[in-house]
A and B are shown apart, each in its own frame.
Chain A
């Protein structure tokens, strides 16, 4: 299959998961990600795996918790309202240090909101969402090809760090088709899982998977261990892409769909003599604050422009990283609308004083 084929984002996620060795999927229907479940319904059977349509998102994430505790490569997917319901399970997965992959094809909110694309779950995904002090690794693909690459990576990261790893897409990425090139075979190297419940088989003491620690000192130690792990993830796994930042006067910061649209504007701005660069966070957590910190200290950088499909959530992280050294402007669309290239270009002209 050494040829690019046209596939829908949601289906690519599902195919990537199967190729990455995922054989257990638990889900509940919700637009705009249900094609993941449709695809899994037949693909898992072909691959000798399991697809369970759960009674709710709450049940689905708890099935994931059970399957992860049992040592499986496991995934669930949903969209914003369903992800809210899963937050309880996320917290337990974090507390019990289980590896799991969750896909959020974000739609517009709050409440039932709409089914069109948004990035309004940024806070929820990166700052917690559920209760307690925990983090999830959050990956933000920007193309169908990257949906494939990052879904595969998500399983490896989840198992390496025993953490929930989220694919944070949006309705555009889930619903659109674009060419994708699959590798012939996915190398699957899974770490040992001596902690998993498999039955003792008479070979070891009994294992327990739990997130409850009644003694303060015990629980504090667990938290300290978790925080140390999160620091390691931040040091090892922070990912981003930069485009044309070496001499840019304005740095656009955008992820996912917004970064695609912004990328095309860079050329248009250059035609008008405005040098624009792009920083595209690929991990939303850990957030690539270091590169923004560095750029904010460069003489050629005059300002930052954060572009999101929300009211300015990543904006707070950008401002923290820039730390007041440069102005940080914002352009956001909500309700399911996407910014147009024209809108972005106008904003850039305004910042550059060319309007």
Chain B
């Protein structure tokens, strides 16, 4: 019988530990597929961060380094400066990248480090059980904003792509989501473009992927996907913030 679908070689056989309805699994698969399609799996070094994806070094079939909380862009900088011909990426969540690791991501972008960052934004701390994140929406209930995020007390969400777009070193910034077939295809294109930017040594590339956290949002998987579309996207508009005109996918 003809095999029409197989698990990508970019992932190991280890089953994901993610909660039902969480989109990390989709994002992992997209990154893995792109590595295989670009034939860079055996030259890529990934950096896992701290959060629900702390152990995705067990899932990606390329060389992996596990980093301290927030420090993945600095670790990736060290790796890339040693192996400038290898592909290097970080995989970070919103607490890791936009709170404790803000300095590291801004300066990796400012230096134009030739690395890719895949930034999963689900507006909440997942692994530590649902605390307010820098990207938590106004009014959103979390375990540390039980009455809803109040701008007066807790400030405003950070739009990472828009913030980094002021930096010339960040040559490609795009925000995508993974809530349906079409958006997943767009996310994959963005991930592919980020790697192509790195292959061509153009500078820093970041893809922000709006993702779900049914467990900490207290929603079903289907409700969670709808919440991304209806509530997150208005705060975090999709699109290319830098590098729309880059011709890399030749």
A209 touches B66 (CB 8 A): yes
Q: Is A69 an interface residue (CB 8 A)?
A: yes
Q: Is B98 an interface residue (CB 8 A)?
A: no
**Cα–Cα distance between A5 and B81 once the two chains are bound (Å):** 33
Residues of A near any B CB (own CB < 8 A):
24, 26, 50, 52, 54-56, 58-60, 62-72, 74, 88-89, 92, 96, 197-202, 206-212, 214
Nearest residue, chain A, Cβ from B55: A212
Query: What B residues does A60 contact at CB under 8 A?
Result: 74
Give chain B nearest CB distance to A47 CB in angstroms: 14
B65 touches A62 (CB 8 A): no
A69 touches B79 (CB 8 A): yes
Give chain B nearest CB distance to A34 CB in angstroms: 19
Query: What B residues does A24 contact at CB under 8 A?
Result: 78, 81-82
Main secondary structure of the interface of A (DSSP, over half): mixed
Give chain B nearest CB distance to A271 CB in angstroms: 55
Q: Is B63 an interface residue (CB 8 A)?
A: yes
B55 touches A54 (CB 8 A): no
Q: Which of B38-46, B197-205, B210-218, B231-239 contacts A (4 or more CB under 8 A)?
A: B38-46
Using A55-B104, A59-B107, A62-B104 as known contacts, say yes or no to A71 and B82 having CB atoms under 8 A apart: yes
Give the size of the chain B interface in residues (CB under 8 angstroms): 39
A88 touches B68 (CB 8 A): yes
**Cα–Cα distance between A62 and B65 once the two chains are bound (Å):** 11
Give chain B nearest CB distance to A102 CB in angstroms: 14
Using A26-B78, A66-B76, A197-B45 as known contacts, say yes or no to A208 and B65 having CB atoms under 8 A apart: yes
B79 touches A197 (CB 8 A): yes
**Cα–Cα distance between A65 and B41 once the two chains are bound (Å):** 22
Q: Is B75 an interface residue (CB 8 A)?
A: yes
Using A56-B103, A67-B79, A74-B78 as known contacts, say yes or no to A200 and B54 having CB atoms under 8 A apart: no
Nearest residue, chain B, Cβ from A205: B61
B64 touches A208 (CB 8 A): yes
Query: What A residues does B63 contact at CB under 8 A?
Result: 197-200, 206-208
**Cα–Cα distance between A52 and B114 once the two chains are bound (Å):** 14
Query: What B residues does A62 contact at CB under 8 A?
Result: 67-68, 71, 74-75, 78, 104
Known pairs A201-B42, A206-B64; list 17 more (Cβ under 8 Å): A24-B82, A54-B74, A58-B104, A62-B78, A63-B75, A63-B81, A66-B67, A66-B75, A67-B81, A67-B82, A70-B79, A96-B66, A198-B86, A199-B43, A208-B66, A210-B57, A210-B66
Nearest residue, chain B, Cβ from A211: B66
A209 touches B62 (CB 8 A): no
Q: Is B89 an interface residue (CB 8 A)?
A: no
Nearest residue, chain A, Cβ from B74: A62
Per-residue interface assignment for chain B, residues 76 to 93, with 1 indicating a CB less than 8 Å from any chain A CB and 0 otherwise:
111111110011000000
Query: What B residues does A211 contact at CB under 8 A?
Result: 66
**Cα–Cα distance between A117 and B107 once the two chains are bound (Å):** 32
Query: What B residues does A59 contact at CB under 8 A?
Result: 71, 74, 77, 103-104, 107
Q: Is B132 an interface residue (CB 8 A)?
A: no
A199 touches B42 (CB 8 A): yes
Residues of B near any A CB (own CB < 8 A):
12, 41-45, 47-48, 54-55, 57-58, 60-68, 71, 74-83, 86-87, 103-104, 106-107, 111
- 10 CB < 8 A contacts A-B: A55-B104, A59-B77, A59-B107, A62-B74, A197-B64, A199-B63, A200-B41, A202-B42, A208-B63, A210-B65
6 tightest A-B contacts by CB?
A66-B78, A62-B74, A67-B78, A66-B75, A210-B66, A70-B82
Nearest residue, chain A, Cβ from B77: A63
Give chain A nearest CB distance to B113 CB in angstroms: 9
Nearest residue, chain B, Cβ from A67: B78
Query: What A residues does B86 contact at CB under 8 A?
Result: 198-199
Query: What A residues does B103 contact at CB under 8 A?
Result: 55-56, 58-59
Give chain A nearest CB distance to B58 CB in angstroms: 8
**Cα–Cα distance between A68 and B67 once the two chains are bound (Å):** 12
Query: What A residues does B64 contact at CB under 8 A?
Result: 197, 206-210
Query: What A residues does B42 contact at CB under 8 A?
Result: 199-202
Nearest residue, chain A, Cβ from B43: A199
Nearest residue, chain B, Cβ from A63: B78
Give chain A nearest CB distance to B178 CB in angstroms: 25
Query: What A residues does B47 contact at CB under 8 A?
Result: 66
Using A199-B63, A206-B62 as known contacts, say yes or no to A55 and B107 having CB atoms under 8 A apart: yes
**Cα–Cα distance between A65 and B78 once the two chains are bound (Å):** 7
Query: What B residues does A208 contact at CB under 8 A?
Result: 57-58, 63-66
Using A54-B107, A62-B68 as known contacts, say yes or no to A200 and B62 having CB atoms under 8 A apart: yes
**Cα–Cα distance between A92 and B71 once the two chains are bound (Å):** 11
Give chain A nearest CB distance to B104 CB in angstroms: 6
Nearest residue, chain B, Cβ from A214: B55
B78 touches A68 (CB 8 A): yes
Using A24-B82, A206-B63, A208-B66 as known contacts, say yes or no to A63 and B45 having CB atoms under 8 A apart: no
Nearest residue, chain B, Cβ from A200: B42
Nearest residue, chain B, Cβ from A64: B78
A69 touches B68 (CB 8 A): no
Query: What B residues does A54 contact at CB under 8 A?
Result: 74, 107
Nearest residue, chain A, Cβ from B100: A58
